[in-house]
């Protein structure tokens, strides 16, 4: 677990060759959200992370075909992020439509449990921004409860993103799951939290 893969602390120097803020999407699947963010925000660097290489292939192919130099993909377990990123190296983290792990016995696998939130805070440092989009109200409310114990501010919280849309929020950037849920009439929950 203590292995340093060489990129730790060096993403901007070795991969992006700029000093832009780094934004990470966890559990990015095929990478459509990471790619869309990169297409819309050229002043930041984006890294999509997933454990399944077959999924990542689609996003990696797109950024290569479109010559998007400020986006990349990484195949690893979320638990192993400290091997790849130095404390404070990440500016923002997006979690989009994760497995809610609804059973109480699986709380330790929820991507927003206290163990993961502690790791995110360390990797982002002060003023790090955490985003969550989910159709699952149980996971959303669980995450709000966990964030109440964190030092920082809940800047945005909506249980119906497409009715109560935050100012300057780009609703055109959607995951495949999000598009499916919207067609079925599901409400999308969204929060933005900033650590202090």
Q: What is the pLDDT of residues 72-115, one digit of tens each?
A: 999 999 999 999 999 999 999 999 999 988 877 778 889 999 99
Residue-level pLDDT at 1: 47
Catalytic option among 19, 43, 99, 135 = 99
Instruction: Let me know if residue 191 belongs to a domain.
Output: yes
Annotation marks residue 99 as catalytic: yes
What CATH number is associated with residue 179? 3.40.50.150
Range of the domain at 189: 11-195
Q: Is 154 exposed, middle or buried (0-12, 13-18, 19+ CB in 10 A)?
A: middle
Residue-level pLDDT at 3: 61
Instruction: Let me know if residue 5 belongs to a domain.
Output: no
Instruction: Let me know if residue 103 belongs to a domain.
Output: yes
Instruction: Let me know if residue 37 belongs to a domain.
Output: yes
Average pLDDT over residues 176-189: 94
Instruction: Let me know if residue 2 belongs to a domain.
Output: no
**What does the H/E/C string look like for the chain?**
CCCCCCCCCCHHHHHHCCCCCEEEEECCCCCHHHHHHHHHCCCCEEEEEECCHHHHHHHHHHHHHCCCCCEEEEECCHHHHHHHCCCCCCCEEEEECCCCCCCHHHHHHCCCCHHHHHHHHHHHCCCCEEEEEECCHHHHHHHHHHHCCCCEEEEEEECCCCCCCCCCCCCCCCCHHHHHHHHCCCCCEEEEEEEC
pLDDT tens profile 48-62: 999 998 889 999 999
Residue-level pLDDT at 4: 64
Instruction: Let me know if residue 161 belongs to a domain.
Output: yes
pLDDT tens profile 126-159: 999 999 999 999 999 999 999 999 999 999 999 9
Phi, psi of 169 (to 5 degrees): -85, 130
Instruction: Let me know if residue 62 belongs to a domain.
Output: yes
Check whether 124 has a pLDDT greater than 60.
yes
Check whether 22 has a pLDDT greater than 50.
yes
> Count of domains in the chain?
1
């Amino acid at each position: 677990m203590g292995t340093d893969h060489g990129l730790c602390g060096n993403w901007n120097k070795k991969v992006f060759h700029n000093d832009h803020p780094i934004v990470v999407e966890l559990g990015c699947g095929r990478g459509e959200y990471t790619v869309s963010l990169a297409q819309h925000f050229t002043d930041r660097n984006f890294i999509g992370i997933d454990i399944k290489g077959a999924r990542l292939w689609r996003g990696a192919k797109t950024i290569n075909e479109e010559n998007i130099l400020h986006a990349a993909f990484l195949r690893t377990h979320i638990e192993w992020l400290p091997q790849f990123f130095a404390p404070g190296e990440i500016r923002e983290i997006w979690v989009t439509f994760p497995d809610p792990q609804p059973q109480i016995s699986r709380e330790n696998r929820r991507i927003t449990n206290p163990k993961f939130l502690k790791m995110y805070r360390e990797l982002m440092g002060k003023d790090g921004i955490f985003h969550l989009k989910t159709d699952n109200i149980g996971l959303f409310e669980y995450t709000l409860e966990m964030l109440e114990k964190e030092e920082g501010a809940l800047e945005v919280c909506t249980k119906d993103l497409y009715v109560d849309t935050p100012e300057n929020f780009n609703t055109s950037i959607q995951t495949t799951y999000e598009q499916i849920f919207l067609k079925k009439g599901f409400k999308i929950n969204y929060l933005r939290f900033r650590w202090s």
